[in-house]
C-alpha cells in the first residue's frame, strides 16, 4: 500500500514552548495528486509543512517517504527525496537577475567555487524550458510581478527533480488572472507526475484544483477525503466548527450627514477627477483591476500622497491632508494591503502593536505610559476580533498570518475614527475570521463609522457594502447601490 503514497506523516505533535501547534495530526499525500490542506488561521498548516520539509523537528510522530520511515526530516533529506517548498515570500533575491536566481542555488549546492556563466545560462534555460515559460533571463527579479516571480520560484524547485511541490497559500498575493495561470501550471506539473500540496482557505480554489483535501482545526485532523464529497456547508463547518450564516448589510441611516466628500480629486499617475460623497455609517466598496487607481485614491485620502488638485471635506469642513498625521488627525484610518511590511512591528509584542497609535493618550505628563490601560485595551481587541493569541506579550511575529492581519485591524479600531479604509481586509484570512471581521465592521458602521472597503472579491463587496464604486484607469466609472445588484453585472463593470 505504501507505494501509493509519496509521503505519510503520522501522529505528528509539535509544541512551541507552551503552545500546541500540532496535536497528533496525519497527512497523507498520494503520488501525483493535487492535495489541498485547509484550515483556519493558526491551525498548524505552515507548521506541518516545515516538519515535512525538515525545518522543524516534530516532538513525536513519524514521516514515511517511499516506504522508508523517519523520525524527522532534514532540509537536505527532504530535497533528496524530491520535496520542494514554495514559501509565501518565494525566497528569491530581488536585486539579482532571473538567471542568477535560477542557477545560483545549484552552483552553490554543487560546491562550485567558480561560477561559470555558460553553466548558469544552461541551468536557467533548462529551468524555464520545463514549464515552457517565456521570461527574460536578464531581467532583475524586483521588476517582475509577484505572479511571474512565483513562476520563477516554481521553475527553480523543478531543477531538483521534485516529486512533491508544497505551496503555502500561493494565491494570497496574486491577481485573479495570475491565479488562472498558476492553476494551469499546477495541472501541467501534475501531468509530469509531480504531486502538489496546496494550502488555501478558499473553497472555490479547493474545488477547482484539488482531488483530495485535508482539513485541520486547532492542530488536529478534522476531515480528509475526495473533494467530490465536499460542498460549501461541509467545508465551512469543517473549517470553523460552527455554522456560518452571512446576511447582506443594510444601510438604514438614510438621512445621516455626509462625513467625507471628495471633489475633483486628481493625482498624477494615480487617478483623475474623482468626486463622491459618503454618509455617516455607510460601507462603500471600491473595486476595479490592479492599476485602476483605487489604492492610490485610498492612500491619498489617508495622506500618503498629496493630491495634485481637488478638495477633500470631512464633516463639511475642508481638510488639508498632506501626511499620514493629517489623515489620522482628521479621523481617517487605513489598513494597507501589505499587512506585514506596512502594518506591524513583527518583533514587538501584540499589545504594543495594537495600542501604538494610542500611546499619547495613555501617557502622563512625564511621558510614562500606563501599561495597565494598554493591556486592558489589547485584551479587549484580542477578544473582540478572536485573535488566537496565547499571551498579548508575545511578539506579533509568532502569530499566524491571519491573526497578524487582525492585529493591524485592531490597531485602527482602537482609534476613535470617523472613516476607516480597508484595502483587501480579508486577503489571507480564513472563513471564520473573515466572518468575524465583517460582522465587526458592520457593527461599527451601525455605530456611525464610515467604512471604505477596497476589494477584488465581488461577493464580499456585495454582501458587506451598501454601495460600490467601480474604478477604471484612474477614473470613477460607476457608483451603484448593491441592493439587487447581481455579481455578473458588477463583474462586467469591473473588468
Ligand X SMILES: Nc1ncnc2c1ncn2[C@@H]1O[C@H](COP(=O)(O)OP(=O)(O)OP(=O)(O)O)[C@@H](O)[C@H]1O
Distance of CA 346 to the CA centre of its chain: 16
CB half-sphere exposure, 111, CA atoms < 13 A: 0
Using the rule CB under 6 A, give the single segment among 15-23, 106-114, 142-150, 415-423 that binds ligand X.
15-23
Site string for ligand X, 378-397 (x = CB under 6 A): ----------x---------
Question: What DSSP assignment string belongs to 299-347?
Answer: HHHHTSS--SEEEEEETTEEE---SHHHHHHTTEEEE-S-IIIII--TT
Tell me the closest approach of the beta carbon of residue 135 to ligand X, in angstroms: 29
Q: Is 245 helix (H, G, I), strand (E, B) or coil?
A: coil
Site string for Mg ion, 3-42 (x = CB under 5 A): ----------------------------------------
Positive or negative, the CA dihedral 265, 271, 274, 276 is: negative
Residue 405 interacts with Mg ion (CB under 5 A): yes or no: no
CA distances from 297 to 110, 194, 270, 302, 307 (A): 49, 43, 7, 9, 9
Residue number with CB closer to ligand X (48 or 120): 48
Using the rule CB under 6 A, give the single segment among 23-31, 188-196, 399-407, 475-483 that binds ligand X.
399-407
- Angle subtended at Cα 479 by Cα 484 and Cα 264, rounded to the nearest 5 degrees: 170
Residues in 43-102 at the binding interface with ligand X, rule: CB under 6 A:
43-47
Residue 353 interacts with ligand X (CB under 6 A): yes or no: no
Nearest residue to ligand X, using CB? 400
Residue 404 interacts with Mg ion (CB under 5 A): yes or no: no
Residue 46 interacts with Mg ion (CB under 5 A): yes or no: yes
Contact call for residues 128 and 138 (beta carbons, < 8 A):
no
Residue number with CB closer to ligand X (285 or 428): 428
Answer for which of 8, 42, 215, 452 binds ligand X (CB under 6 A) is 42
The DSSP code for 97 is B
CB neighbours (10 Å) of residue 256?
15
Tell me the closest approach of the beta carbon of residue 213 to ligand X, in angstroms: 14
Tell me the closest approach of the beta carbon of residue 241 to Mg ion, in angstroms: 19
Using the rule CB under 5 A, give the single segment among 14-22, 43-51, 296-304, 429-437 that binds Mg ion.
43-51
- And the C-alpha cell for 344? 506591524
Q: Is 492 helix (H, G, I), strand (E, B) or coil?
A: helix
Binding footprint of ligand X on the chain (CB under 6 A): 16, 19, 21, 39, 41-47, 388, 398-402
Binding footprint of Mg ion on the chain (CB under 5 A): 46
Amino acid at each position: 500500500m505504501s507505494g501509493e503514497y509519496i509521503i505519510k506523516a503520522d501522529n505528528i505533535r509539535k509544541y512551541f514552548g507552551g503552545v500546541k501547534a500540532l496535536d497528533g495530526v496525519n497527512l497523507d499525500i498520494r503520488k501525483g495528486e493535487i492535495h489541498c490542506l485547509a484550515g483556519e488561521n493558526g491551525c498548524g498548516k505552515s507548521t506541518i509543512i516545515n516538519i515535512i520539509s525538515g525545518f522543524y523537528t516534530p516532538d513525536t510522530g513519524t514521516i514515511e517517504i517511499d516506504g522508508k520511515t523517519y523520525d524527522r526530516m532534514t532540509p537536505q533529506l527532504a530535497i533528496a527525496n524530491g520535496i520542494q517548498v514554495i514559501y509565501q515570500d518565494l525566497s528569491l533575491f530581488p536585486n539579482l537577475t532571473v538567471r542568477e536566481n535560477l542557477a545560483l542555488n545549484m552552483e552553490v549546492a554543487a560546491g562550485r567555487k567558480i561560477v561559470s556563466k555558460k553553466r548558469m545560462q544552461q541551468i536557467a534555460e533548462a529551468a524555464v524550458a520545463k514549464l515552457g515559460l517565456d521570461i527574460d533571463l536578464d531581467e532583475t527579479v524586483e521588476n517582475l510581478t509577484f505572479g511571474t516571480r512565483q513562476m520563477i520560484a516554481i521553475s527553480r524547485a523543478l531543477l531538483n527533480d521534485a516529486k512533491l511541490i508544497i505551496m503555502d497559500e500561493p494565491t494570497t498575493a496574486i491577481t485573479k488572472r495570475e491565479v488562472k495561470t498558476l492553476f494551469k501550471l499546477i495541472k501541467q506539473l501534475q501531468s509530469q507526475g509531480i504531486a502538489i500540496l496546496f494550502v488555501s482557505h478558499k473553497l472555490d480554489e479547493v474545488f477547482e484544483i484539488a482531488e483530495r483535501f485535508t482539513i485541520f482545526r486547532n492542530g488536529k485532523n478534522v476531515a480528509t477525503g475526495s473533494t467530490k464529497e465536499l460542498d460549501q456547508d461541509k467545508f465551512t463547518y469543517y473549517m470553523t466548527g460552527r455554522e456560518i450564516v452571512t446576511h447582506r448589510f443594510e444601510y438604514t441611516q438614510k438621512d445621516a450627514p455626509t462625513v467625507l466628500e471628495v471633489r475633483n480629486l486628481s493625482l498624477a499617475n494615480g487617478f483623475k477627477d474623482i468626486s463622491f460623497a459618503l454618509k455617516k455609517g455607510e460601507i462603500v466598496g471600491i473595486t476595479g483591476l490592479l492599476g485602476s487607481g483605487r489604492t492610490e485614491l485610498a492612500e491619498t485620502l489617508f495622506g500618503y500622497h498629496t493630491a495634485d488638485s481637488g478638495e477633500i471635506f470631512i464633516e463639511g469642513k475642508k481638510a488639508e491632508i498632506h501626511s499620514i498625521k493629517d489623515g489620522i488627525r482628521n479621523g481617517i484610518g487605513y489598513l494597507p494591503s501589505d499587512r506585514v511590511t506596512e502594518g506591524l512591528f513583527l518583533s514587538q509584542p501584540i499589545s504594543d502593536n495594537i495600542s501604538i497609535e494610542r500611546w499619547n493618550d495613555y501617557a502622563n505628563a512625564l511621558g510614562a505610559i500606563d501599561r495597565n490601560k494598554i493591556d486592558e485595551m489589547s485584551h479587549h481587541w484580542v477578544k473582540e476580533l478572536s485573535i488566537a493569541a496565547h499571551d498579548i506579550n508575545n511578539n506579533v511575529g509568532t502569530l499566524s498570518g491571519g491573526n497578524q492581519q487582525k492585529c493591524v485591524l485592531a490597531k485602527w479600531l482602537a482609534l476613535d475614527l470617523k472613516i476607516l479604509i480597508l484595502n483587501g481586509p480579508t486577503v489571507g484570512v480564513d472563513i471564520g475570521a473573515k466572518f468575524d471581521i465583517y460582522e465587526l465592521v458592520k457593527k461599527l458602521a451601525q455605530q456611525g463609522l464610515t467604512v471604505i472597503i477596497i476589494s477584488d472579491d465581488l461577493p464580499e463587496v456585495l454582501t458587506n457594502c451598501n454601495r460600490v464604486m467601480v474604478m477604471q484607469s484612474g477614473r470613477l466609472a460607476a457608483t451603484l447601490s448593491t441592493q439587487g445588484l447581481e455579481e455578473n453585472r458588477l463583474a462586467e463593470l469591473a473588468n
